Structure 1
Amino acid sequence: MKFGRLLTAMITPFTSEGTIDWPKVSALIDHLIATGTETIVVAGTTGESPTLSHDEKLELFRRTVQHAAGRVKVMASTGSNNTAASVALTREAEQMGVDGVMLVAPYYNKPSQEGLYRHFRTVAESTSLPVMVYNIPGRTGVNLTVETMARLAEIDNIVAFKEASGSVIQAGKLADRVPEGVAVYSGDDALTLPTLAVGGHGIVSVASHLVGSGMQKMMQSYFAGDVQTAAKLHARYLPLFEGLFMAPNPVPVKYALSLKGLCEPYVRLPLVELDEEQKEKVKALVEAL
């Protein structure tokens, strides 16, 4: 598969002034590569895309491609609830040299299934890049049905789905319906192993900022037939998977990374940093690792 099994939805480090901390971006890319990430997803929700400007996204794409220097794949998150704007950003990202794009389901305007299909088809047809379709109804207010995703899988350059509906049943049905060569990824760290068990290919992860090597080992163990080891690793990391969502993502993971010196905990409004009780819980999770 083009993007491997472990994709990390990379945070966007900020300075205390709220600007992008470019040295920390570079250091984080190196860290992710060293701990097993095979594709870095840039400017997704974990990267605080709603508060990144158009120019900041393009600069993130450009710098990540440049710093990664072919060591891993780079996937640009270019989707939005505006089809024309998604087409434009996708084309610009392609010019920056990214290896693929991730398109989230349109949010807030709640299109029909036919509207969702036409949106993704229009953006996919505007680029030669491989496309990952991202279904996350908890954030978008719409759920891509298995039938709609199966239709989308017939489009040549739609090669993957990030399934974050929270339903292993839906993930399994999707994995059964898509053609060979089209991959289904979990969009929820806690459902990585269950998704693999119903035909999934890998994970687009947040926790891999902290336990990338362990997540690689979990997946490799599963695919090697050592389900017992995979299950033990799943159980070991489950408190972290759950704890990183005690507050809106990416607030907890940014604080955890700050404890390891990999970024500062700063987020942009309307997100706010953890309170003291939450910080203590995250510290305990990091120490347990």
Structure 2
Amino acid sequence: MFSGSIVALITPFNGDGEIDYDGLDRLIQWHIQSGTSAIVIAGTTGESPTLSDDEKVALAKAAVAIAGGRIDILVGNGGNNTLACVRLTERLNDTGIQGYLTVTPFYNKPTQAGLLAHFTAIAGATSLPVILYNVPGRTLCDLSNEIVIKLSELNNVIAIKDATADLTRVAELLEKCRQPFHLLSGDDATAVAFCQAGGHGVISVTANVAAREMAAVHAALASGDIKEAVLLDKQLAGLHENLFIESSPMAAKWALYCLKLLDSAHLRLPLVDLSSTGKNCIEQTLKDSGLYPQEC
């Protein structure tokens, strides 16, 4: 089961907009050394809407090879075309990955019955673990607790990434989902409170930039040292907020470029470079967090 600090990894691109596999290697090695629990590639933070299926399969194979069994690799296989998601999942099944993160369909605005059918079809296309992903702020589609509970009856639906920041959902899911079923926060700012309420970890944007620090927060939570977890997390509060100053992952990529973990902060359209105001904010936030003492 997946728990702790899991990174929703950005996809590095070079200046020509192609995937930077050397950069991918550098990031995965850094996360392994930093204590990150698992890595999600080709998720929405990885700009999945701008990645082709061929690129997602190539990224999966590359990430698995780089990881070499030292860290679990999960792949985003969600979308708003169920048949396309099923076909992508079938292609990814033999790449050596350890599971999937499957986001709710965006734009279509399906009913709860439609969501049940959508996730059931995707889960049926694989024997690998599937993590549901509910992020209504980005998709305008909210996966209800009732449907999560029903989906937890499927053998390979083993967790949810909940990015609603609604901590009241946790208790019901803990009580009614088929166990074992893990609850993972998708909102860095409330992740510690989410875990205090019974959650098992976070799939994090902040971990892109502060991998070791996020791992320390969740190690403290796992050991029951809530006071230490809250203290460590407080030092990251600026990152939790300001990495979303403009559309994610614009700020995360700029921060990684400042930290010299990326050679380029390039994004694919329709995302563009962070504004000058945003860049200044991120540089100051890195300094305030003790991660970056120099000028970028």
Shorter-normalised TM range: over 0.9
Offset, 1:220 = 2.1
Q: Distance in 2 between matches of 1:174 and 1:261?
A: 40
TM-score normalised according to structure 2 size: 0.94
Q: Is the 8 A contact 2:37 2:215 kept in 1?
A: no
**Equivalence for 2:275:** 275
With over 3 angstroms needed to count, the CA separation of the structure-2 counterparts of 1:171 and 1:273, relative to structure 1, is: farther
The superposition leaves residues 67-92 of structure 1 with CA deviations (integer Å, 9 ceiling, x where unpaired) of 11101001111111111111111111
Unmatched 5+ residue regions in structure 2? 291-296
The superposition leaves residues 52-72 of structure 1 with CA deviations (integer Å, 9 ceiling, x where unpaired) of 111111110110011111010
Q: Distance in 1 between matches of 2:141 and 2:174?
A: 20
| Residues 1-289 of structure 1: pairs in structure 2 closer than 5 A | 1=1, 3-263=2-262, 264-288=264-288, 289=290
Q: Distance in 2 between matches of 1:256 and 1:117?
A: 38
SS of the residue 1:95 aligns to:
coil
Superposition misfits of 4+ residues, deviation over 3 angstroms: none
Q: Distance in 1 between matches of 2:175 and 2:236?
A: 28
SS of the residue 2:133 aligns to:
strand
Q: Is the 8 A contact 1:176 1:199 kept in 2?
A: no
Q: Distance in 2 between matches of 1:62 and 1:202?
A: 26
Which residue type is aligned with residue 214 of structure 2?
A: M
More deviation, 214-223/20-29 = 214-223
Which residue type is aligned with residue 40 of structure 1?
A: I
Q: Distance in 1 between matches of 2:54 and 2:221?
A: 41
Q: Distance in 2 between matches of 1:285 and 1:38?
A: 25
The superposition leaves residues 128-183 of structure 1 with CA deviations (integer Å, 9 ceiling, x where unpaired) of 11100000111111101111100001111000100011211123432332232110
Which residue type is aligned with residue 80 of structure 1?
A: G
Q: Distance in 2 between matches of 1:177 and 1:234?
A: 30
SS of the residue 2:119 aligns to:
helix
Q: Distance in 2 between matches of 1:211 and 1:14?
A: 20
Q: Distance in 2 between matches of 1:210 and 1:65?
A: 21
Which residue type is aligned with residue 211 of structure 2?
A: G
Count of aligned residue pairs for this structure pair: 288
Offset, 1:223 = 3.0
Identity %: 38
Which residue type is aligned with residue 273 of structure 2?
A: E
Q: Is the 8 A contact 2:6 2:38 kept in 1?
A: yes
SS of the residue 2:142 aligns to:
coil
Q: Is the 8 A contact 1:131 1:159 kept in 2?
A: yes
Q: Distance in 1 between matches of 2:20 and 2:224?
A: 42
Q: Is the 8 A contact 1:257 1:265 kept in 2?
A: yes
SS of the residue 2:131 aligns to:
strand
Offset, 1:186 = 0.1
Unmatched 5+ residue regions in structure 1? none
